[in-house]
Amino acid sequence: MGGLDRQLLAEKVAAVERHLGRVSERLPAEPSRLLPNTDASDVVILHLWQAVQLVIDLALAACLQLDLGTPENYGDAFARLRDAGHLDRELTRRLVRAAGFRNQVAHAYEKLDMTRVHQAAERGPDDLRAFLTVLERLAER
């Protein structure tokens, strides 16, 4: 990935990890304990949203750097990377769902299903990290 600055990527990866660390710190073990409009839910939602947004920004940049064209939307960025052979189908599906989570937080915060937020906070970080690993490998080329 010739045009992607490794230092910038490292900074973005560190930022994602900081956000995911905050999610992990505040996420209750049981979904029923993640209640709306509490400090814990605000921290979990805000930091998960920020981590997802950073990953989306990196996906958009990767599409441009790899000459995959300009994505039409966030999910399309991951689909373009999949179509170019950089992501597998299942990870792409989950990253597209993460982009949907980001949109829901941004546009319908008051209507969030806290059980789904808990699931996203438990399962999503591994997908975000898997994507970052793909980018790190591409940057090494």
Phi, psi of 93 (to 5 degrees): -60, -45
| Per-residue model confidence (pLDDT) at position 86 | 96
Residue 4's pLDDT is what?
Answer: 66
How confident is the model over 5-49, as pLDDT tens digits?
A: 788 899 999 999 999 999 999 999 999 999 999 999 999 999 999
**107 vs 129, more confident:** 129
User: Residue 72: what residue type?
Assistant: E
pLDDT digit string, tens, across residues 66-116: 999 999 999 999 999 999 999 999 999 999 999 999 988 888 767 789 999
Angle ∠(98,135,27) on CA atoms, nearest 5: 40
Considering the domain 6-140, what is its CATH architecture? Up-down Bundle (1.20)
pLDDT score, position 107: 84
The pTM of the full predicted model, rounded to 2 decimals, is: 0.93
pLDDT of residue 1: 43
CA distances in angstroms from 102 to 3, 29, 53, 128, listed in the order given: 27, 22, 7, 13
Per-residue b or e along 71-104, where b marks 16 or more CB atoms closer than 10 Å to that residue's CB: beebbbbbbbbbeeebbeeebbbbbbbbbebbbb
Q: Are 61 and 76 in contact (CB under 8 A)?
A: no
